[in-house]
Structure 1
Amino acid sequence: MNRKLLAAALVAASLLTLPLAHAETVRWSRSSDAATLDPHSVNTGTNINISHQIYEPLVLRDIKGKLIPALATSWKLTSDPTVWEFKIRPGVKFHDGSTLLADDVVFSLDRARAPSSGMKALLASVAEVKKVDALTVQVKTKGPNLIFPDNLVNIFIVNAAWAKANKSEVPQDEKSKEENYFSRNENGTGPFTLASREQDSRTVFKQFPQYWGKGEAAMQITELVLVPIKSPATRVAALLSGEIDLLQDVPVQDIARLKADGKLRVNEGPENRTIFLGLNVGADPLKYSDVKDKNPLSDPKVREALSLAIDRDAIQKTVMRGLSIPTGIIAPPFVHGYEKAFDTYPKANAAQAKKLLAEAGYPNGFGITLHCPNDRYVNDEAICTALSGFFARAGVKATVNARPIAIHSAAINAADSDFYLFGWGVPTFDSAYVFDYLVHTRGKDGRGPTNATRYSNPALDAKIVSLSSESDKAKRDANIHDIWTTVQKERIYIPLHHQVLDYAMVRKLDIPVDPMNYIFFKNAKVAAK
């Protein structure tokens, strides 16, 4: 072959791997839909993942966990160690054509601090947000907060004038079910605009022509179609038949089959999320138990018995098909403050569990409802079914009540459950996020909104609050260790495992697993056909 023909052949071969330049639609399926489009209302991964397509925060975290600029081009501590300053990216347009300014950032951060906001605990350390000039905002915290920017990765910026014009100055209150204009409409700065929405059925996003990130992000997807499919078998069938292009919530029982299909690609990776059981240790009596004169979960021996009854290794092997990492702590190794010494779990011992129950005054066990989502975490309902069997061996009759995550999370946020399966990711990559939401006394200073255990420890609360104002890193780390020590001892949560995720997709896509299980479709690359 002469040089000209060889060069032509090489060029032709290279073109096969170039991205498509023409319009590209990607059909994306998950097991559940967002409960609302209000970006400050509900702090769940499903909601946040959708918000990241149409809204943006000041800072983001890349797939390796590093903070990177988003709507803020830079951020720094000022000479006052309680004041962070953010420089706003110039020339950014909202979807209605208006320009992003400092007023929008101030309004958004204040809106996310409102009592009805699911994000307020992230901003609990904030004393004041103020505009310095058109593109500069300062945030004053109640004390030196070394990790404050880490708390902003899911705090989305909205258009102040648009929110006020549509009488939606405060977030939708998930508990009341009362909607606002944000619930079904949007005006963000993100890479996609909302074209149409049929909740729990089909949502269509179109690429935003004036998106500031063109030239930085790949922006190869011009239309994104979200098709929630609750049934695992139906989701897989939709991928195999070509009805969808990307399946984010892949049933573990189908992974081997999907990997063997030459038309598909399956990417796998650990998630920054732990699955655990929450126990109502504070109510007396319980609402969802057949013990009516006291609360069995308030007894440490009962909590220890329940943990001993669980065979985490069997769950990993049979329920999760190897795609989980059994654990003894409710934070994955990604998180600052995680210690291997805490990450130990007991081997299942039904006989010892029975003995502890008898010592606690329940020789014949007791009955309780185990609330569980059925469309959020990997094999969530199947995990609960297995748990019910393990508890039965110890004498505890746990009746599984499985329900959609929108209902389940609302019940947890309303503290309307006694015994429940839940999962928690840590977008800040810091233990304070776990403590602020799951351990701190519920409802105090905006913290504890997802603490349905009713656990309250004023001394521990003080240590948790100190994490957002301690300027000495060594002292802060020592407090984190002390808090974890207490959490492990109290056993208000029973850790099960860290999740491992798989994304299945057609071969033209190659989307890596993000530890937070968020997909940023603006960065997705589509191979040429």
Structure 2
Amino acid sequence: MKLNRTLAATAVLSVLAVAGVGAQAQTLRIANQGDALSLDPHSLNESLQLSIASNVYEGLTDRNKDLSLAPGLATSWKQTSPSVWRFELRKNVQFHDGTPFTADDVIFSFARAAGDGSDVKAKVNDIKEVRKVDSHTVDIETKGPFPILPEVLADMFIMSKKWSEDNKAERPVDRRKGIENAASFKANGTGPYRVRERQPDVRTVFVRSGTYWGKIEGNVQEVVFQPIANPATRVAALISGQVDVMEPIPVQDIPRVNGNASTRAIVGPEMRTIFLGMDQKRDELLYSSVKGKNPFKDKRVRQAFYQAIDINAIQKTVMRGASKPTGLMVGPGINGWTQAQDKRLPFDPEASKKLLAEAGYPQGFEVTMNCPNDRYVNDAQVCQAVAANLARVGVKINLQAETKGTYFPKILRRDTSFYLLGWTPSTYDSHNALNALMRSPDDKTGDGQFNLGSYSNPKVDELTVKVQSEGDMAKRTAMIKEAFQLHADDVGHLPLHQQSLAWGVAKKVELTQRADNFMTFKWMSVK
């Protein structure tokens, strides 16, 4: 199936080319506002963690520089029936410890990803069985027709069965429960780089794998990744030459980075949508002044919150123009997005006050809002602006902004009443967002795994299942449109914007910026 061709236009690659890049191996130093919470590729379905893991682990399929689908640990795939895909596996591939890669590792990894503690269940929840045909061939049977399965598997990473068993890491690290194992601190993939050193929240050192089966285009021998939470310190480290690549650049510092003789900013569109979610399931909110009932179960309250948010002011003052306000849970470049449907409810504080009064809250109420302060572009500032907007209509927000190391485990337990989250569909298809964010949650199957406020509409659930199996693109697009409209009519979530990518890069560095914000080490070179 071919995805929407707008992907090619939106996922424009920002490539910084430097003439005469040396062939000599080099060290590259990368800084980010946060760290991966674990090295376990199945423990957190979050883009920074997946980006880091993608340099060490690989899926059956992969992505090219233009985000088109490419062979990974599978050299080819085909449907042998509407619900069965056959994957021919790459031969003569070794894990970093020298263990050969076989079909047994694929079967083990899919079972692990579907098991307790996994945060990537949504990638495999519609797989019925993975069967071994021979040592380098597997059949994957889905519960129904699933024409985009190869797209889904690009970041469903494969682990060594033997290594996992030897290290007692048969199950994923469970960040919700604080359960760790060896896979959180050690890694053993088939990818172009292996982990040499791991000091959580301090630094992680990667070195080029001498046994990698594929081509490593760049000359980087060693990558030193370090979290630098303070934005000013991160920018100063780039400008002074202490780091070679950093992200994100605070939007107000982009001119400074561009004005420095040895650095520049690479700015491009990102496919991530930032949105707000609300607990719509509990009979009483965990963190609110309202007792005995849940105001977010009332559509009028959800709409009042939506129309109280001045997204254009947030774009101008908080994001300094580096965002695109949105009315949908997906953005341009995602198959199923349309400009015609991407319309927001109008900003109207007076309408908000009227809706709150009609719902029984003429004086408003108090509620706690959970927000990360080191994950998205200006995330805490966005939440502060939303809180200020809501205060004008009588809603008092008790803002709890915290590092993602404590934020994600909390909200993934659904220990929240009102929260901010960002989402990039890993398949670049709307089904991913429907299935993960808008489908009624089922902890056993992984359906709606990131629908943390438990929004539920049976018709949206039904359409999500149909979208997954429909091969006719016109019919499929119409189903996506209908599901999005139902969700919008329900005010199921409060979409805010798509943020822009802003990487700071030393001019001696050549790299490729992907619109999914993945940093691929094998495409990086240092002059």
TM-score relative to the length of structure 1: 0.94
Q: Distance in 2 between matches of 1:31 and 1:93?
A: 33
Q: Does 1:267 align with 2:269?
A: no
* Kept in 2: contact 1:268–1:512 (CA 8 A): no
Higher alpha-carbon deviation: 165-174 or 185-194 = 165-174
Q: Distance in 1 between matches of 2:212 and 2:327?
A: 44
Displacement of 1:170 in angstroms is: 1.6
Q: Does 1:258 align with 2:260?
A: no
What secondary structure, in the 3-state scheme, does the structure 2 residue paired with 1:32 have? coil
**CA, structure 1 residues 508+188, in 2 after alignment: closer, same or farther (shift >3 Å)?**
same
Q: Distance in 1 between matches of 2:401 and 2:414?
A: 17
Q: Does 1:195 align with 2:196?
A: yes
Q: Point out where structure 1 has 5 or more consecutive residues left out of the alignment.
A: 1-15
Displacement of 1:271 in angstroms is: 0.5
Match of residue 72 from structure 1:
74
* Alignment-mate amino acid for residue 55 of structure 1: Y
Structure with greater Cα Rg: 1
Q: Distance in 2 between matches of 1:340 and 1:473?
A: 18
Higher alpha-carbon deviation: 281-290 or 465-474 = 465-474
Match of residue 481 from structure 1:
481
Match of residue 9 from structure 1:
none
Higher alpha-carbon deviation: 334-343 or 494-503 = 334-343
Displacement of 1:47 in angstroms is: 1.0
Q: Distance in 1 between matches of 2:392 and 2:418?
A: 18
Match of residue 377 from structure 1:
376
Q: Distance in 1 between matches of 2:519 and 2:225?
A: 12
* Alignment-mate amino acid for residue 526 of structure 1: V
The size of the alignment, in residue pairs, is 509
Displacement of 1:454 in angstroms is: 1.9
* Alignment-mate amino acid for residue 173 of structure 2: Q
* Kept in 2: contact 1:464–1:483 (CA 8 A): yes
Q: Deviations over 1:407-427 (max 9, x none)?
A: 222222111111111100111
* Alignment-mate amino acid for residue 251 of structure 1: P
Q: Distance in 2 between matches of 1:393 and 1:296?
A: 18
**CA, structure 1 residues 205+31, in 2 after alignment: closer, same or farther (shift >3 Å)?**
same
* Kept in 2: contact 1:125–1:468 (CA 8 A): no
Match of residue 159 from structure 1:
160
Match of residue 452 from structure 1:
452
Give the alignment of 1:291-306 within 5 angstroms. Answer: 291-306=290-305
**CA, structure 1 residues 347+481, in 2 after alignment: closer, same or farther (shift >3 Å)?**
closer
* Alignment-mate amino acid for residue 363 of structure 2: N
Higher alpha-carbon deviation: 314-323 or 61-70 = 61-70
Q: Distance in 2 between matches of 1:359 and 1:35?
A: 44
Q: Deviations over 1:217-238 (max 9, x none)?
A: 3141100001101111111111
* Alignment-mate amino acid for residue 435 of structure 1: L
Q: Does 1:511 align with 2:501?
A: no
Q: Deviations over 1:38-71 (max 9, x none)?
A: 1111100121011011111111122322101111
Q: Does 1:434 align with 2:433?
A: yes
Q: Deviations over 1:427-485 (max 9, x none)?
A: 10111111111111212522111111122233432322233333444433332222111
Q: Does 1:525 align with 2:499?
A: no
* Kept in 1: contact 2:196–2:207 (CA 8 A): yes
What secondary structure, in the 3-state scheme, does the structure 2 residue paired with 1:499 have? strand
Give the alignment of 1:331-370 within 5 angstroms. Answer: 331-370=330-369
* Kept in 2: contact 1:413–1:451 (CA 8 A): no
Match of residue 10 from structure 1:
none
Q: Distance in 1 between matches of 2:509 and 2:33?
A: 20
Match of residue 389 from structure 1:
388
Match of residue 17 from structure 1:
19
Q: Distance in 2 between matches of 1:36 and 1:401?
A: 23
Q: Deviations over 1:247-300 (max 9, x none)?
A: 022111111111111210211110010001101122121111111121111111
**CA, structure 1 residues 236+48, in 2 after alignment: closer, same or farther (shift >3 Å)?**
same
* Kept in 1: contact 2:186–2:198 (CA 8 A): no
Q: Deviations over 1:165-187 (max 9, x none)?
A: 22221211221111112111111
Match of residue 320 from structure 2:
321
What secondary structure, in the 3-state scheme, does the structure 2 residue paired with 1:512 have? strand
Q: Distance in 2 between matches of 1:307 and 1:483?
A: 19
Give the alignment of 1:179-328 within 5 angstroms. Answer: 179-213=180-214, 216-328=215-327
Q: Distance in 2 between matches of 1:472 and 1:339?
A: 18
Match of residue 501 from structure 2:
501
Q: Distance in 1 between matches of 2:290 and 2:174?
A: 33
Q: Distance in 1 between matches of 2:326 and 2:495?
A: 6
Higher alpha-carbon deviation: 180-189 or 55-64 = 55-64
* Kept in 2: contact 1:412–1:450 (CA 8 A): no
* Kept in 1: contact 2:57–2:158 (CA 8 A): yes
Q: Does 1:52 align with 2:54?
A: yes
* Kept in 1: contact 2:371–2:407 (CA 8 A): yes
Match of residue 5 from structure 2:
none
Give the alignment of 1:397-416 within 5 angstroms. Answer: 397-416=396-415
* Kept in 1: contact 2:173–2:181 (CA 8 A): yes
What secondary structure, in the 3-state scheme, does the structure 2 residue paired with 1:344 have? coil
* Kept in 1: contact 2:290–2:365 (CA 8 A): yes
* Alignment-mate amino acid for residue 447 of structure 2: R
Displacement of 1:512 in angstroms is: 3.2
* Kept in 2: contact 1:307–1:346 (CA 8 A): yes
Q: Distance in 1 between matches of 2:397 and 2:475?
A: 42
Q: Deviations over 1:1-51 (max 9, x none)?
A: xxxxxxxxxxxxxxx823222220000001111111111111001210110
Displacement of 1:511 in angstroms is: 2.5
Match of residue 174 from structure 2:
173
Match of residue 134 from structure 1:
135
Match of residue 11 from structure 1:
none
What secondary structure, in the 3-state scheme, does the structure 2 residue paired with 1:153 have? helix
* Alignment-mate amino acid for residue 327 of structure 1: T
* Alignment-mate amino acid for residue 42 of structure 1: L
* Alignment-mate amino acid for residue 18 of structure 1: G
* Alignment-mate amino acid for residue 43 of structure 2: S
Q: Point out where structure 2 has 5 or more consecutive residues left out of the alignment.
A: 1-17
Match of residue 466 from structure 1:
466
* Kept in 2: contact 1:238–1:244 (CA 8 A): yes
Match of residue 91 from structure 2:
90
Match of residue 147 from structure 1:
148
Displacement of 1:128 in angstroms is: 0.6
What secondary structure, in the 3-state scheme, does the structure 2 residue paired with 1:74 have? strand
**CA, structure 1 residues 474+115, in 2 after alignment: closer, same or farther (shift >3 Å)?**
farther
* Alignment-mate amino acid for residue 158 of structure 1: M
Q: Distance in 1 between matches of 2:311 and 2:66?
A: 29
Q: Distance in 2 between matches of 1:162 and 1:462?
A: 40
Q: Deviations over 1:185-229 (max 9, x none)?
A: 11101111111111001111111111111xx33141100001101
Q: Distance in 2 between matches of 1:487 and 1:510?
A: 42
